[in-house]
Structure 1
Amino acid sequence: MSAEPEIRSESSAATGWQYVRLVLLLGCLTALPPLSVDLYLPALPQVRDDLQATDSMTQLTFTGMLLGMGLGQLIVGPLSDAVGRRPPLLFGLLAHASASLLCAVAPNIEVLAALRLLQGLSAAAVSVVIMATIRDRFQGTAMARIISRNMLVVAMAPILAPSLGSQLLRFTDWRGIFATLLVIGLVLALGAFMFLDESLPRERRRSSRPRAVASSYLEILRDRTFISLAMIGGLTAAAVFSYIGASSFVFQDGFGLSEQEFGLVFGINAILFLAGAQLNPLLISRFPLIRVMMAANLVGLLAALSAVVLALGEIGGPAGAAIPMGVVLFTIGMVLPNTPALALHRHGVKAGLAAAVLGCLQSGTGGLVAPLVGAIGVKTALPLSLVMTAALVLAGALLRLTSRDTSVYEIGGHKS
């Protein structure tokens, strides 16, 4: 299946200040879901102790956010294709702020995990609308480039958030982290209301009737290459989510780093992810996206295997875990931006629904895989290294199957 004919809105012609404002606003909105996860990371051990929970139960507050994002996107996606991008986004931002307030007063770990699920459902609106808005305005290599630029924000969030969270914990407790997310959500809602224009004209909107939505979902689910690309994104994201969910326990409890030291390690590895995402536009201007993804996956897999070997031999201490994991994140920065670019290129007139399926599989896979680390154990780097390796092995196998479809070579190099 080749890409659908491009149908563009007038807003896609925005240039100069309009373009800069659009990119900056989309970047700020893109930061909300990762901020909701990463600002909270240094507080996980504190949450566990304060609410008298186990490590695996505490990790459910992280997993619930991811699963909520996955399920919520399946609802928001077709809704945004029917009513436009702005209404679901604004409702989601306000719901996210409300969930943050409730998380701040959660009495036990079970309630907190349920509220994090609600927070994930509301954050799904942000994820879907941002991706669909990019697809409304851009296509092909241009879309891959702007997604890579957006990865700058996705990478900056984990650079800044754990450090900011660690500093906040010097003056408040984990409940104050959620109060901070409440303020951020309200500010972003105001910014979106004032400055984000609607990108989906009425003539391009689709029916929201259940039969029409089901038919559209079935059409996408029958596109094997799309599903393979979505699963590649999900498995690659699972490696990232496993690292995010377990790293605070591995480095703080396992290696004895302080909250501030962990924030530094996490930030350095996030910079490596950022470097990979920013190198990606240069590579895809010379090579097809699928080639870049296959090469990056192979290098990342070798780094993950080295982390397993070092963990088995108890070699290198925290550096023996942090360095190879940083290389893995560097290579993932060249896979994650290209997955949605290739997948959404195939379904431009159903951008919201396609982004929903893509996001659901990505967040859902990550949410299901990440708890495996907690189930195996988080006192050493070995379980995390094994899960990351397994995820990259499966993603690599799917990449090689996907590469047999000649349509995936349409983007990148000198072809678009």
Structure 2
Amino acid sequence: MTSPSPEPADKKIGGLEFILLMGLVQALQALAVDSMLPALGEMARELGSRDPNERQLVVGVFLIFSGLGCLVPGALADRFGRRPVLLGCIAAYVICSTACGLVQNFTQLLVLRAMVGFACAGLAVLPAAIIRDLHEGDRMARMQSTVSMVFMIVPMIAPSVGQAILLMASWRWIFGVMALMGTALAIWISLRLPETLRREYRQPISLPNIGRSMIEVTTTRAALGYVFGMALIQSAMFGYINSCQQLVGEHFGAGTRFPLIFAGMAMVMACTNFINSRIVMRFGARRVSHTALVVYIATSALQFYMATRPDETLWQFVPMMTLNMCLLGFLGANFSSIALQPFARKAGAASSAQAFIRMVLASWLGAMIGQAFDGTARPLAAALLTAGCGCLALILYSEKGELFRRRNPPGTTYPIA
């Protein structure tokens, strides 16, 4: 199977620059989440929030609306091209982030966080569609893993950036940093990124087309298990992100060490994305991700056992949670590339539909997991184990009961420079 190369463009971008740019575009969403974490308590106090778990909504509302917005940018990008839609999403991100720094109460902040989340939907959907325009098969999985390595740089440093801002200025300046980064990336895209969507692949915008894409994604057996399975895995991770400041910073007593611990966990996760990008072409996306899922379930079972003990410590929790996060490096990019394989001519719409399902389900369940925080690690550990087992059942459905088999030969790639 081969894919036509993208239409000619007057802009040329090298492979390394392309990887860096796509990774940083996706990282805008991570910056909007992880830089908030050290400041959640201070935001809630200053803006009048009283419920201790209510601070999680600054993250939870953002993630929910990121999922709800995922249907929009893919359809627009399939009609008008990737570049203009991507630039429009970043412009909305910059404007809404700036407004977040000016709010006067907690309700205003949540409304604007919902708007930033909706704008961020395109930043999650469009890089995957752009990569699918240029790559397929295991090569697409390798490219997505390489992009994820760049993406993971921001979760490594974002909490520390937020903590540093708190030491020098108000939490409101965190939103200013978000706006500045978005502006810089918009300029870079305008100058360097070519349009990757072929003219003959452009699709009209219509509700029936969007509906057909949703139906196709949810009825294509080869993709369905990977989309819903990844949603379950992500929901447990979102539950951790929602509650990690309370769990790690307060319950386990990390305090001001919390950003450094979070950064260390993200750094190890970035290393696994690098390893995945090196081995996926040799072993195949299915073999790598299926093996990682089995190990994830075993790790989650051990983590659940440790969480039920009354004397679990920070340095028992952190290594196990880090290992679970590392295994995501072997799941996310591979699951995404496998799920998009049946949709070469509708990569934008399919990416949107899949991201919509994945993000809405994961953010909703993640918010529930976060709100279940009871001062211990038990709710999170139970969620990790349940998500892993549910994901395995869904993958078995998509693969008709057979794991570890490499079904596709290495795909064809078309260089953009």
Where do 1:111-122 residues align within 5 Å?
A: 111-122=108-119
Q: CA distance change for structure 1 residues 113 and 263 in 2, over 3 Å: closer, same or farther?
A: same
What corresponds to 2:237 in structure 1?
A: 240
> Shift of residue 374 of structure 1?
3.1
Q: For 1:126, which of 123, 126, 147 is the aligned residue? A: 123
- Residues 74-107 of structure 1 show CA distances to partners (whole Å, capped at 9, x for unaligned) of 0111111011011111111010011101111222
The reply on whether 1:210 has 2:184 as its aligned counterpart is no
Where do 1:16-415 residues align within 5 Å?
A: 18-53=14-49, 54-259=51-256, 261-404=257-400, 409-411=406-408
Q: CA distance change for structure 1 residues 336 and 317 in 2, over 3 Å: closer, same or farther?
A: same
Write the distance in 1 (CA, Å) between the matches of 2:197 and 2:411: 27
> Is the 1:272–1:330 contact (alpha carbons within 8 Å) kept by the matching residues of 2?
yes
> Shift of residue 209 of structure 1?
2.8
Write the distance in 2 (CA, Å) between the matches of 1:158 and 1:255: 21
Bigger shift: 243-252 or 304-313?
A: 304-313
> Shift of residue 200 of structure 1?
0.9
Write the distance in 2 (CA, Å) between the matches of 1:323 and 1:355: 33
Write the distance in 1 (CA, Å) between the matches of 2:128 and 2:120: 13
Write the distance in 2 (CA, Å) between the matches of 1:145 and 1:385: 30
Write the distance in 2 (CA, Å) between the matches of 1:394 and 1:55: 30
Q: Which runs of 5+ in 1 are unaligned?
A: none
Aligned length: 409
> Shift of residue 378 of structure 1?
4.8
- 1:342 partner SS: helix
Write the distance in 1 (CA, Å) between the matches of 2:357 and 2:378: 26
> Is the 1:6–1:349 contact (alpha carbons within 8 Å) kept by the matching residues of 2?
no
Q: TM-score if structure 1 supplies the norm length?
A: 0.92
> Shift of residue 230 of structure 1?
0.8
Write the distance in 2 (CA, Å) between the matches of 1:209 and 1:143: 28
Write the distance in 2 (CA, Å) between the matches of 1:217 and 1:399: 19
Supply the AA of the counterpart residue of 1:239.
Answer: A
> Shift of residue 20 of structure 1?
2.3
> Shift of residue 264 of structure 1?
1.3
Q: CA distance change for structure 1 residues 134 and 405 in 2, over 3 Å: closer, same or farther?
A: farther
Q: CA distance change for structure 1 residues 203 and 231 in 2, over 3 Å: closer, same or farther?
A: same
Write the distance in 2 (CA, Å) between the matches of 1:321 and 1:335: 22
Write the distance in 2 (CA, Å) between the matches of 1:21 and 1:327: 30
> Shift of residue 250 of structure 1?
0.4
- Residues 294-318 of structure 1 show CA distances to partners (whole Å, capped at 9, x for unaligned) of 2111211222222222222133411
Write the distance in 1 (CA, Å) between the matches of 2:65 and 2:204: 25
Q: CA distance change for structure 1 residues 348 and 249 in 2, over 3 Å: closer, same or farther?
A: same
Query: CA RMSD for the aligned pairs?
Result: 2.2
> Shift of residue 6 of structure 1?
2.7
> Is the 1:69–1:123 contact (alpha carbons within 8 Å) kept by the matching residues of 2?
yes
Write the distance in 2 (CA, Å) between the matches of 1:11 and 1:39: 39
Write the distance in 2 (CA, Å) between the matches of 1:144 and 1:132: 13
Q: CA distance change for structure 1 residues 35 and 378 in 2, over 3 Å: closer, same or farther?
A: farther
Supply the AA of the counterpart residue of 2:132.
Answer: R
> Is the 1:45–1:249 contact (alpha carbons within 8 Å) kept by the matching residues of 2?
no
Q: Which runs of 5+ in 2 are unaligned?
A: 413-417
> Is the 1:57–1:109 contact (alpha carbons within 8 Å) kept by the matching residues of 2?
no
Supply the AA of the counterpart residue of 2:76.
Answer: L
> Is the 1:290–1:403 contact (alpha carbons within 8 Å) kept by the matching residues of 2?
no
Q: CA distance change for structure 1 residues 415 and 104 in 2, over 3 Å: closer, same or farther?
A: closer
> Is the 1:55–1:374 contact (alpha carbons within 8 Å) kept by the matching residues of 2?
no
- Residues 161-208 of structure 1 show CA distances to partners (whole Å, capped at 9, x for unaligned) of 111111111012221111111111111111111111111132220111
Q: CA distance change for structure 1 residues 265 and 378 in 2, over 3 Å: closer, same or farther?
A: farther
Q: TM-score if structure 2 supplies the norm length?
A: 0.92
> Is the 2:92–2:116 contact (alpha carbons within 8 Å) kept by the matching residues of 1?
yes
